[in-house]
Amino acid sequence: MPRRNSTITQLYDSRATARGNGCKIKERKRLFSLSNEIVETPLFNIKTLYQVANREQITLLKSSVARWNIWREGNPHIEPDFDRVDFNGINLSNANLRKANFQMALLNGANLQGANLTKAFFAGSDLRGANLSETDCQGMTLDDADLEGCIFRQSNLRNIDFSNRDLRDINFSEADLRKADLRKSNLEKVKFLKADLRKTLFTEANLTEAYLSSAWMQ
């Protein structure tokens, strides 16, 4: 930035000397207008490049989880943004989705079995009927997500906040729910078969017809 201003000032001084002080104000306005155009143009390019890169990430994930995982290994600093993207019914099993943003995304019936979902953001997303079995969900955000009929079989859900939620028909069989917060939630017909429920919070939760056979609660 200082280099650009210095160059423009030199050009302005040389022209002002050659043409007289009467041209001074007009020349200054023209030159600084030109300098603003030079600075503003790259800003548009940065936004465009981000949009292109984001589309390429979506295309890569949808086309091949194997290639996606290789790309993530080489770019661990990038946090993918899938805000409002349609992934309905897609197979994303075993995908590395750590810290990915799925806010308001559509994942109805999607297969995420075995995926790495640590610190992923699913606020407001549609996960109805999605398969999240054998997933690592530590640090995952699920605020206002629709989880009706989700399958979390054998998943790591320690410390997850499920409080004050409608969790009807969810399958938590063999899941690790230690210290999870299920207070005031509707757990009607939820399956907790062999789930680890040590220190799980159930205060004021609706457990009507919930299946707790062989669950570990001590």
pLDDT of residue 54: 84
Query: Can you list the residues of the chain whose pLDDT is less than 70?
Result: 1-52
Report which DSSP code applies to 23.
G
**Total Cβ atoms within 10 A of residue 135:** 28
pLDDT of residue 42: 53
Secondary structure element (H or E) that encloses residue 74, with its range: helix 65-74
- Listed by start position, the domains of the chain span 2-60
pLDDT of residue 49: 59
pLDDT of residue 7: 40
Task: Report d(CA 155, CA 169) in Å as an integer.
Answer: 16
